[in-house]
Every structure is written in C-alpha cells, then in structure tokens.
Amino acid sequence: MKMLLLRFLAASVLCTGIWGIASAAPNIVLILTDDHGWSQLSAQMDPKVKSSKSDYLETPHMARIMNQGRRFTSGYSPAPLCTPTRRSILCGTTTARSGTEFASPNWIPADHLTIPKALKAANPKYRTAHYGKWGEQMISTPEECGYDDSDGMTGNNTGGMPKTLGVASGSHAEGPPHFIDNEDPKRSISITSKAIDFMTDSVRAERPFYVQVSYYAQHLSVVTRESLLEKYEKKGKPDRGYTSAWAAMMEELDNGVGRLLDAVDRLAIDDNTYVFFTTDNGGRGTVPGGDDDAMAPNFPLSGAKHHLLEGGIRVPFFVVGPGIPAGSVCRVPVAGYDFLPTFHSLAGGESSQLTKEVDGVSLVPLLRDATEDGFSRPQKALFFHRPRRSFSAIRENDYKLMLYWNKDGSINRQELYRVDRNPTEAGNEITNRYPVTAGQMRDRLLAHLYLVNAERMDPNRL
C-alpha cells in the first residue's frame, strides 16, 4: 500500500508540477482580439471597479475564462496600435525596441527570436500555428518567423474593410455603419475552425502545440450576421457609444472563443492546456454609427486606441489552465511582451536560451501566486513609446507616468497618475504631490529608451 501511494504521488508531481503548473510540455492557446477595450466585456475586468464591464454586451465565454482562471486587472497591450503590438508579442520586445508604427524597417521579425522559435528551442516537438490577422507591413511571413502553419501575410483587408466589402472609395465615412455577412462575419468562424483542426491534428500526433488565434474583430469595419443584429436591436440602446451591430460582432467573436474552449474540453487536454486571452490595443474612441453623446466606449478609462492613456493600452488580459485558481485576480502590471518568456518557461525552456533583446519576463510565478512573491521584473516597470504621436509612458507598481515630447525632441511635460485604485486618468494628475516619484519614473523611462536606441521625435514626420 505504501509503495502504491508513493507511485501515485510521483505521478502527480510529474503531471502537474510541484506548484500545480503542468511540467509535461503543455499546449498553449493565445487568443488575440482587435480594438477591444478593457471594459468591453459582460463580466467585470476588475472586481473592484463596477464600470469595468458592460451591461449591454454578451461575452459569456470570455467570462468563462475569467471565472475559471485568473484575470490580470492591470494587463497592457505593448502599443496603442495593432502592428507594433503584434511585432512586440511575437518577439517579446517593448515597442521602443522593435518599432512603434506599422512599418519598422530596422526590425525584421524573422531575424530575431520569436515565440515559435523560443518554444521549439525549449522542446523541438512543438507544433506552432498562427491563424487570423498577422498585421500590416510585418515584413516577415509567419513561416519565416518559425510557424508551421498560418493564413499567411494577412491584414485588415482580409478581415473586411470598406473596399473589400463593396465601398468603392474605401472610406468608412462613405459606407454604411455596418455590413451583413451571414456566412463568416469578420472570418471569426473560419479562423476558429482552422485553429480547432490544428489542435485536433496535434493531439492525434501526440505533439504539444502552440496556436495563436488572432481575430479581426472588433476592428472596423463592423460586420455581423443579420440574426445577431436583430437580437441586439431588440435590446435597445447600448450602454456606451457603440452600436447594436458592433455588439453583435462582439458576440460572434465570443462564440469563437467558446468553440475553442469547448474543443479543449472535447479533446480532453484541459489538464495540460493554457488559454491566454488579450487584445492588440484598447478600444476605439468612436464606432461608425455610434452615439457621440453617449458614454465613451472605453469608460471608465481615459483615452482610446492610438493614445498611451489607459484607454489605449489597458486591455482585457486573462488566462485559464492547470494549477491556476478559478476566479482569481492578479493586480501586478503585465504586458503582451511577457508572453514569449512565459510560454518558453511553460515549455520547459532555460532562460539562457532567450536573447538579451527580450524585454518581457515570465509570468509563470504569477500563474501560481497572484502576489509579487517570487516575481521580479529587472527593469521594475513596463514601457510604452510612440514618439510620432509625441508621447511615451511607464507603468511602475501603482503609478503611471505620461511623458510628452516637443517637436525638437525635448520634454514638454510629464503627468503622474495613480491607476491601481482608480483607472481613470482624466482629472487625477498628481505630479505636484509626488515630484520625487515622478522624477524617478521619468529617469527610468528615459534610461530604457536610451538602452534600446528607441526612435526619437522627428519634426519632419509630424
């Protein structure tokens, strides 16, 4: 009897790891949505902030991940714009290092470490795939970056933009506020199906897998099925400045998330599969056909896509998987460029396999313990940079500093906020109360920009 008990305990450690985190090569799914705001969910992104959800939207499957796993209330996209975020996630870099705009000719992703390369360095058995939106002007193909399968060099037009939807001018202003597609709106259905097929094939081949499912929703244009549009029109006026059609598109997106979760259960791999969820940037400030006088789409956050205020970069960020307590909350600031070292660590990789260019850190300690015990970030903070829009930012512990630039590259002003308790920046600037904290954070931000040889202000581009 004693020998049987010892064997059982040994098998338990082998399967789940000492901390309840799977030690056998786990499967990893990364769901990346587009233009999806922090509060644009039907469940609270932060249990302490009542307005961090919508009473109009229906996202039960996203809520399923949150309720069965861990939500990061201070999760950030690396940039307030799609392509620099996607490049950053792919390479584990801040956008100050790998480029802040669509084009980044000085950073060729295929020439650097990427998520699929890092996973295969940790364990050559990994199969990797990317479906959905790759990005605009990414230069390198998914296969050149190490993926075994993909949709190729896809961009916004692939998922549906005015010109590809029949508007000759290609302008949202000249097209309808929404489009009807009863077959595959925003390609959410087909993207999900491809990912499920890849997962199924990998399980049959007894190979661990990584699949990134990069949905085109909620990026413009707004495309939905007629039946879902009718459902939301019957619900009445939305609670924020988006439209019934936009809400319908969100439900279609959520249905895709549900299918992915159901596939994990059906394949009986839930005990060794992590599903991460986040988005490429915050929500838009306006939606075609939306009511400009209604509550802002990103409320309670200030700002929107393109800006480094919270509304532009603070995003949905949660994960479900083995050893992660259900319904748990982590308030430690994290960013999308932490995924590469996190996935590499989950796959059993050694830190020596990562290059010095990787700015992110493994979140594995935060998956087993929501506190900062055992978790450290060498640079102490998260960094954001968009000089062509004249701002940079740093998030360190409970505080966030915005740095605004003059056209000649000199500092115009700085603004300090405390965003842990109240995520709304508007009207809550506290630089004068904490000048030492503001100065220390500014110096840390400037040091990072110098270290990575970040792009500087160029008045010719303004």
Specify whether the CB–CB gap between 207 and 24 falls below 8 A: no
Residue 337 is assigned to a structural domain of this protein = yes
Residue 162 is assigned to a structural domain of this protein = yes
**Domain extent for 455:** 382-461
pLDDT 10s per residue in the chain (462 long)?
Answer: 344 333 333 333 333 443 445 558 999 999 999 999 999 999 999 999 999 999 999 999 999 999 999 999 999 999 999 999 999 999 999 999 999 999 998 999 999 999 999 999 999 999 999 999 999 999 999 999 999 999 999 999 999 999 999 999 999 888 999 999 999 999 999 999 999 999 999 999 999 999 999 999 999 999 999 999 999 999 999 999 999 999 999 999 999 999 999 999 999 999 999 999 999 999 999 999 999 999 999 999 999 999 999 999 999 999 999 999 999 999 999 999 999 999 999 999 999 999 999 999 999 999 988 777 789 999 999 999 999 999 999 999 999 999 999 999 999 999 999 999 899 999 999 999 999 999 999 999 999 999 999 998 765 654
Taking Cα atoms as reference points, which of 86, 224, 215 lies closest to residue 159?
215
Domain boundary among 337, 368, 399: 368
Packing angle of the helix pair 339-346, 82-91 (nearest 10 deg): 30
Do 401 and 291 reside in the same domain of the chain? no
For residues 296 and 224, what is the distance between their CA atoms, to the nearest angstrom?
22
pLDDT in tens, 251-269: 999 999 999 999 999 999 9
Do 429 and 314 reside in the same domain of the chain? no
Buried b (16+ CB within 10 A) or exposed e, 27-47: bbbbbbbbbbbbbbbbbbbbe
Q: How many residues does the chain have?
A: 462
How are strands ordered across the β-sheet holding 391-396? 382-386, 391-396, 399-405, 411-418
Residue 4 is assigned to a structural domain of this protein = no
Q: What CATH number should be reported for the domain holding residue 124?
A: 3.40.720.10
pLDDT in tens, 64-88: 999 999 999 999 999 999 999 999 9
Do 74 and 141 reside in the same domain of the chain? yes
Do 115 and 253 reside in the same domain of the chain? yes
Domain boundary among 338, 368, 398: 368
Do 27 and 141 reside in the same domain of the chain? yes
Residue 261 is assigned to a structural domain of this protein = yes
Domains of the chain: total: 2
pLDDT at 8: 36
Residue 90 is assigned to a structural domain of this protein = yes
Do 300 and 390 reside in the same domain of the chain? no
Q: Compute CA distances 373 → 136, 142, 366, whole Å.
A: 39, 36, 8
Pairing status of strand 328-330 against strand 70-72: parallel
Q: What CATH number should be reported for the domain holding residue 442?
A: 3.30.1120.10
Quote the pTM value: 0.94
Do 199 and 267 reside in the same domain of the chain? yes
Taking Cα atoms as reference points, which of 415, 333, 348 lies closest to residue 379?
333
